[in-house]
Structure 1
């Protein structure tokens, strides 16, 4: 798998302008995940979850909680106890 890259407010795979997958977020007192996108031919491969895991690691480094506005992020974060304590429950 290609390396996940980071820019301000996002993690992505592929080209910066036309990524194969990306998760976008904004930082306040928390990290608000706004959107997750994976191109159709790569969906179901786990890339979206990998991107969310990168946001989780980043949030832990920053000492911040995650607020998932994105429904995919909310599904991932609520699907496994390993995410307990890093996100602020369902909106």
Structure 2
């Protein structure tokens, strides 16, 4: 498996997603925007082909980096995002709830 990863960000109206493409497979993290200051991370989907590769973690890391850069906070409705938050107390500055 190659290490080539591309994460793109798409947003329209109040919905958005991060998509990681690697070796012909796609993983995604979706969210809903609650105004300019909060997003609800509502789903992370990683196909079997990318499980165990760190694809889900990479998506959450990108969301955290964007939250810090753009000044919004993350509401972790998705159980995977919530678990990643719990493992990374250093991310507490961008999470609510």
TM-score by length of 1: 0.85
Residue 48 of structure 1 is matched in structure 2 by 56
| 1:39 correspondence with 2:47 | yes
**Aligned Cα root-mean-square deviation (Å):** 1.8
Residue-by-residue CA offset, 1:52-88 (whole Å, 9 max, x unaligned): 0111111112211110100000000110122121101
Alpha-carbon offset, residue 41 of structure 1: 1.7
Matches within 5 A, 1:1-91: 1-8=4-11, 9-14=16-21, 20-28=26-34, 29-89=37-97
Gaps in structure 2 of 5+ consecutive residues: none
Gaps in structure 1 of 5+ consecutive residues: none
Q: Which consecutive segments of 4 or more residues in structure 1 shift more than 4 A?
A: none
Alpha-carbon offset, residue 33 of structure 1: 0.2
